[in-house]
Amino acid sequence: MIYDFTPTIVPQTHKEETKIFYKVFLDRTYKLSNAVFYGGKTAMLDGLKYAKDNSLPEREGIPVKFGSDVTVKLNLDDKKLREKVFEKYNIDKSYIMAVGSIEARKNHDILYQAYLELMKMAEDLPQMIFCGYPGWKTEELLERLERDERIKNKIIIITPDDTELEILYKNSLFTVLASLYEGWSLTLPESLNYGKFCIASDVAPLKEIGGDFIDYANPYNAKEWAEKILYYYRNLDKLEEKNRNIEENWKSITWEECAKNVAKELKNFY
Q: Are strands 60-63 and 95-99 parallel, antiparallel or unpaired?
A: unpaired
Q: Could you read off the pLDDT of 163-173 as tens digits, one per residue?
A: 899 999 999 99
Residue 148: DSSP 8-state: -
Sign of CA dihedral 204, 205, 206, 212: positive
Query: How would you classify residue 237: left for phi > 0, otherwise alpha for psi between -120 and 50, otherwise beta?
Result: alpha
Q: Could you read off the pLDDT of 181-216 as tens digits, one per residue?
A: 999 999 999 999 999 999 999 999 999 999 999 999
What's 96-131 look like in SS3?
Answer: EEEECCECHHHCHHHHHHHHHHHHHHCCCCCEEEEE
| The predicted structure's pLDDT at residue 10 | 95
> Phi and psi of 126, rounded to 5°?
-75, 160
pLDDT at residue 232 tops 60: yes
Contact 191, 171 (CB under 8 A): no
In degrees to the nearest 10, what's the CA dihedral of 169, 170, 172, 177?
30
Q: How far is Cα 4 from Cα 211, in angstroms, rounded to an integer?
A: 19
Mean pLDDT of 78-90: 91
Q: How far is Cα 249 from Cα 156, in angstroms, rounded to an integer?
A: 32
Q: Could you read off the pLDDT of 123-174 as tens digits, one per residue?
A: 999 999 999 988 777 888 889 999 999 999 999 999 999 889 999 999 999 9
Predicted model pTM: 0.94
Q: How many residues does the chain have?
A: 270
What's 156-186 look like in SS3?
Answer: EEECCCHHHHHHHHHHCCCEEECCCCCCCCC
Q: How far is Cα 110 from Cα 98, in angstroms, rounded to an integer?
A: 12
Contact 64, 37 (CB under 8 A): yes
